[in-house]
Structure 1
Amino acid sequence: MINKISKIGFSKIGGIFIGKDIVSDFHKHYALTVIVSFGKLFSLYTSKDNQDDYQAVLIQKNIDFSIETCKNEYVAFIHIVPYSEAGMRLTDNAHPILKLDSLKLQDSLSLIKDWFYSNVNTQEIVENILDAISLITGACKEKKVMDDRILKAMTLIMDSEDEKLHVDKISVAVNLSISHFNRLFKKETGLTFRRFVLHSKLIKSIFAVYENNNLTEASFIGGFSDQPHLTRTFKENFGIKPSTILK
């Protein structure tokens, strides 16, 4: 078996990071998060005094938590964009943290392991894994639809190369007043316009790392003022330093 330390994968609907010996700070992430251990249980904390152990868990977006994995045990961190079809299937506001049946995840875990131990790393394979994960039993089956204007706004933000993107430009593009746009954007996404712009910069920087750029290069590609700004934002979202994914 190939000796691996970590691996990162990327697709249009989210990404995967696999690593070991992970101890994170408390953090919130905009994406839906599925965490699956290759073997031993990991500890998930929702506060300093509230800790549970899991083999696999689904965490909804914007939930504050930290994690500690068993020593030398590989764990897959799967982040899925909430407004993608896969994300909509997993969105379940009634269960902020949901324990998953590890036996029913065996096929998905096999896909993850095959990808991890191979030298192949295409976006198509990663997207197929994320789609498979989104079909797990226990996820919400209710059909959800996001406002088309907000979907368009999010696409415009993600595609923009403007480092100082202003809300008035986007609100005009989707035919909404600034005040109406801000209210609707927060309702639909759970984030303010400013926080989503920052999130989009983070995703662009992570993709730059995926394409083998170093952290300094990735920070400027994503639109951050410098590497420390990227590092702070990354840690706020993942609870670990970005250098961890470059091991």
Structure 2
Amino acid sequence: MAKRSFKIGFSDIGGIFIGKNIQSDFHKHYAVTVIISFGETFSIKLAGHNEDVYSAALVQKNVSYSLKSGNTDYLAFIHIVPYTSEGLKLSDSQCAVRVLDIADFDSVVGQIKDWFYQEGNDPQKIKELLHAVSSIPLSNCDHIDIDSRVMESFQLIMQSEAEKLSVNDVAPQVCLSVSHFNRLFKKETGLTFRKFVLHSKLIKSIFAMYEQNSLTQAAFIGGFADQPHLTRTFKDNFGIKPSTSLK
């Protein structure tokens, strides 16, 4: 069994980060996140609220929060892209952070631990784990349906290799005027088109980082102007610097 302090893996529908002794600043990102403790509890604080303690929690996209964990047991952060079928199962329009029953995740936690201690980082295995997490039934969730034209635009954005992707490029491809597309995109996602493009750049850069590219190379691959821009965006989304996550 390999000894390690953390592990990160990604697939095309999201990623998993496992670590301990985590103290994050306030941050938010465009992912639905399931957080599961391997043992001791952790605390989440929303802006303007008191800290609450959890063994497992579901955090919705675009929710600003800070997190503190203990230094003994590991936490698994399962980040799932919200416009995938897996992400839509977990999306909830009514509750920013939901308490989850850790017992519901017993079988999945075993699979995640197996992946954590094994060598290798197969994206297909990550995808299977994310699918398993999203398949656990959650009660009282007010699920979200996203307009099909916005869903199509997600794919166009994520698959684009253009250095500067404009709303003028995407709107006609989903048969909408630019003004109508901008209104619909913001209504459905809570983000502007520009913010979502920035998110897609971050995802591409993260893939590059964990393929052993330097931060400067990862910034270039993702389409950022420079490495400091990537670092700021990463910290805004995850509450820590990318260099910290790579240690």
Question: Is the pair's TM-score, using the shorter chain for normalization, greater than 0.5?
Answer: yes
SS at match of 2:76: strand
1:77 aligns with 2:52: no
Q: Deviations over 1:14-60 (max 9, x none)?
A: 10011111111101111001111111111111136510111110011
Residue 134 (structure 1) aligns with: 134
Q: Deviations over 1:168-203 (max 9, x none)?
A: 111122121110000011112221000000000000
Residue 240 (structure 2) aligns with: 240
Distance 1:242 1:203 in 2: 12
Distance 1:143 1:45 in 2: 24
Residue 86 (structure 1) aligns with: 86
Aligned pair in 2 of structure 1 residues 142, 59: CA closer, same or farther (>3 Å)? closer
SS at match of 1:87: helix
AA in 1 matched with 2:203:
I
Q: 1:12 Cα shift?
A: 1.2
How many residues are paired up? Answer: 247
Aligned pair in 2 of structure 1 residues 140, 132: CA closer, same or farther (>3 Å)? farther
Unaligned runs of 5+ in 2: none
AA in 2 matched with 1:169:
D
SS at match of 2:51: strand
Asked whether the equivalents of residues 91 and 139 of structure 1 are also in contact (C-alpha less than 8 Å), the reply is: no
Q: How does 1:106-145 map to 2 (within 5 A)?
A: 106-138=106-138, 144-145=144-145
Asked whether the equivalents of residues 94 and 142 of structure 2 are also in contact (C-alpha less than 8 Å), the reply is: no
Aligned pair in 2 of structure 1 residues 48, 24: CA closer, same or farther (>3 Å)? farther
Asked whether the equivalents of residues 35 and 75 of structure 2 are also in contact (C-alpha less than 8 Å), the reply is: yes
Residue 167 (structure 2) aligns with: 167
Q: 1:215 Cα shift?
A: 1.2
Asked whether the equivalents of residues 41 and 69 of structure 1 are also in contact (C-alpha less than 8 Å), the reply is: yes
Q: 1:161 Cα shift?
A: 1.6
Distance 1:62 1:48 in 2: 16
% identity of equivalent residues: 56
Q: 1:129 Cα shift?
A: 0.7
Q: CA RMSD in A?
A: 1.5
Aligned pair in 2 of structure 1 residues 215, 134: CA closer, same or farther (>3 Å)? same
Unaligned runs of 5+ in 1: none
Asked whether the equivalents of residues 17 and 245 of structure 1 are also in contact (C-alpha less than 8 Å), the reply is: no
Residue 149 (structure 1) aligns with: 149
1:103 aligns with 2:103: yes
Q: How does 1:153-232 map to 2 (within 5 A)?
A: 153-232=153-232
Q: Deviations over 1:113-140 (max 9, x none)?
A: 0000000311111111111111223256
Residue 57 (structure 1) aligns with: 57
Asked whether the equivalents of residues 7 and 245 of structure 1 are also in contact (C-alpha less than 8 Å), the reply is: no
AA in 2 matched with 1:45:
K
Residue 30 (structure 2) aligns with: 30
| Structure 1 stretch displaced more, 36-45 or 145-154 | 145-154
TM-score if structure 1 supplies the norm length?
A: 0.95
Q: 1:245 Cα shift?
A: 2.1
AA in 1 matched with 2:96:
P
Q: 1:146 Cα shift?
A: 2.2
Q: 1:163 Cα shift?
A: 2.0
